[in-house]
Structure 1
Amino acid sequence: MDSSKDSQHFSMNGGDGVHSYVKNSSYQRGVLETANAIIEEEIATKLEISTNSFCIADFGCSTGSNSFPVMHTIIEAVKQKYESSYLKTPEFYVYFNDIVSNDFNTLFSSLPPNRSYEVLAVPGDFHRRLLPPLSIHFAYSAWSLHWLSEVPKAAEGLKSLIWSGGENEEVYAAYLGQFEKDLESFLKCRAVEMVKGGIMALLIPALPAYWDPQKEYTVGTLADLLRSSLLDMAKKGRLSKARSETFNFPCYTPTPEELRAILQKSNNFNIEKMEILKTRTLLTIDGHVAFFRAVKQNMLMHEFGDEIIDETFDLLKKKLQNSVAYANPSNDRTIVVVVILKRNDV
């Protein structure tokens, strides 16, 4: 598997399945509403930009179903800010970014008909430069930055976290290091593209520092159970045992402390607000399986072939049904960190 190529293919666009599933359920609805309220407050109190053309960029937009309401929230908040400051309302432009293989046709065909902004598509990996210098006034990214640009090279050939034994710390360190490298690259690129005083809002799934894996669960434990299902498939002779043990997903879910430490290293952005939100997904077991299948299926098909998909997720469902933690949806301890950054004058 060519990590640098394939993980980019799945990183942001892995969200396509997620966004499609979110669109048809209440998944993350409470988080989005709370995050929108935070964004509105920060625009009202921190935005100090006067311009005739206000440009917004959504990095990792997928097909737009979750992006459109947020773009509306941002634009309405900016309009109110300008009106309260007796400034002329600017024209609005939104740059929708995702990887080259993203379904931009679906995005454009489903644009809100009464929107108050013009639209541009920006295909490409957001870990590199994508837009002209000093062109963006507000940047946004949700449920995308935990996807890595590649499986860390230091973890290649090592067993994944669930059964790595003595290699566990090495794998963990490799993933944290890759997450830090990717997030720093993202911030450095945005620092060139954003105007001074520009605001960035990030929504990043995270894990609490402490939780009881015997009674509670997170998005991380769901990934572990999926890996365990792959190992079961290997025991049946359906997969290579060695390959199933060393297969790793190109994503990392940080703790808020890890995230803050990385953000504080940036010389280009100040942390204006950092708030931890409970996801409150309240998904049933079938809901968890459907959600995770939407996220991971393409990666598994690419690696192992499509003939093992149904059986693997059937095994995952059985593991969830036998888990005490998953018996109650309120045991979900996954969190989302909402970060508001402001481009400084450095």
Structure 2
Amino acid sequence: MNGGDGYHSYVKNSSYQRGILETSNAIIEEEIAKKLDISTSTFCIADFGCSTGSNSFPAMHTIIEAVKQKYESSDLKTPEFYVCFNDSVSNDFNTLFNSLPSDRSYEASTVPGDFHLRLLPPSSVHFAYSSWALQWLSEVPKAAEGLKSSIWSGGEGKEVYAAYLGQFERDMESFLKSRAVEMVKDGIVALLIPALPAYWDPQKEFTIGTLADLLRSSLLDMAKKGRLCKAKSETFNFPCYIPTSEELIPILQKNNSFSIERMEILKTRTLLTVDGHVAALRAVKQNILTHEFGDKIIDETFNLLKKKLQSSHAYANASNDRTIVVVVILKRNDV
């Protein structure tokens, strides 16, 4: 399960999106200027979890322009650029290709498939990028299947939480192991990963994680009304995990193929209204829900979610959003 835009692209015109992308792009530009040490006639960039490209295209432009400047400052001939767009096989690549910028300075290709696995030839990628995609897991952890709770609930939720963290760790390790084979020595990886702060009050504040949990509770309400199967709704969980930055750091450090060159924690400040959150979450989750429960319950489920958000003190003020984004720059070691 991959996906690069979704919630992220729904708010692409908000002050959040401008601020996050401007800051993360500046970090990427700085690290390319300081750390890129590759001389080649062709330069390959891969975006893992590109979705339909609305957020990918500006990022690819930033990366390419920064690489051009690096080559020019080093008196090297500017290479030819190739961008490989990756997402799941169900992704709408037709929309992506129809939306490609006409003034782009690169050739484009796609590689559909699970980015937790090998997708590209060995030593073929010079710069890897992934934004708001690595929270998607390869599967719902088997230890959480059949349990009647979610990550954020009490009681049995602790067991579910541990199962999801373990799955996230395994998937991250697989992602980095795959990229280590595909990347050239000294290649750079830029990751934008949604995360949670170590401490926050779920009674007064919210995150992207609690939004998903409220959606799950809306499904349970639908089951109580007889609109869908109770047993299926009780054991349903999304294949998604939002880590804390404290959980993320040791996972990244375990992979000896990459060195952590830089890590920055950015606050999102989505400033979305209740209607905005409902629409954004629907953009991300609707296909999964339709696959599991059918399309007849979609409108009613999201109407229930809207009522839950409206009655919650935490969502009364958009500034109560405590979701963060961790920007990570890695460099391929010679190991």
Question: Which residue is 1:167 aligned to?
Answer: 156
SS of corresponding position for 2:238: coil
SS of corresponding position for 2:219: helix
Q: Would the aligned equivalents of 2:5 and 2:52 in 1 still touch at CA under 8 Å?
A: yes
Distance (Å, rounded) in 2 between the aligned partners of 1:266 and 1:77: 27
Percent identical among aligned pairs is 83
SS of corresponding position for 2:26: helix
Question: Which residue is 2:2 aligned to?
Answer: 12
Distance (Å, rounded) in 1 between the aligned partners of 2:262 and 2:165: 23
Q: Residue 276 of structure 1: which of 262, 265, 272 is its match?
A: 265
Q: Residue 215 of structure 1: which of 185, 198, 204 is its match?
A: 204
Normalised by the size of structure 2, how large is the TM-score?
0.96
Question: Which residue is 2:40 aligned to?
Answer: 51
* Aligned-pair CA distance for 1:122: 1.0
* Aligned-pair CA distance for 1:298: 1.0
Which segments of 5 or more consecutive residues in structure 2 lack a partner in the other structure? none
* Aligned-pair CA distance for 1:27: 5.3
SS of corresponding position for 2:276: helix
The amino acid that maps onto 1:12 is: N
CA distances 1:118-177 after superposition (whole Å, capped 9, x unpaired):
111111111111111111110000011000000001111012326864322211111001
Correspondence list, 1:1-346, <5 A? 11-13=1-3, 15=4, 17-18=6-7, 21-23=10-12, 28-161=17-150, 165-346=154-335
Which segments of 5 or more consecutive residues in structure 1 lack a partner in the other structure? 1-10
Q: Aligned-residue CA RMSD in angstroms? A: 1.5
The amino acid that maps onto 1:118 is: E
Distance (Å, rounded) in 2 between the aligned partners of 1:141 and 1:162: 24
Normalised by the size of structure 1, how large is the TM-score?
0.93
* Aligned-pair CA distance for 1:240: 2.4
Distance (Å, rounded) in 2 between the aligned partners of 1:119 and 1:298: 27
SS of corresponding position for 1:154: helix
CA distances 1:19-54 after superposition (whole Å, capped 9, x unpaired):
652456555331111100000000011111111111
Question: Which residue is 1:8 aligned to?
Answer: none
SS of corresponding position for 1:113: coil
Distance (Å, rounded) in 2 between the aligned partners of 1:37 and 1:325: 32
Q: Would the aligned equivalents of 1:285 and 1:320 in 2 still touch at CA under 8 Å?
A: yes
The amino acid that maps onto 2:70 is: K
Distance (Å, rounded) in 1 between the aligned partners of 2:234 and 2:197: 26
Seen in structure 2, the aligned counterparts of structure 1 residues 16 and 47 have a Cα distance that, compared at 3 Å, is closer
Number of residue pairs the alignment of both structures matches: 335
* Aligned-pair CA distance for 1:221: 1.1
Q: Would the aligned equivalents of 1:19 and 1:65 in 2 still touch at CA under 8 Å?
A: no
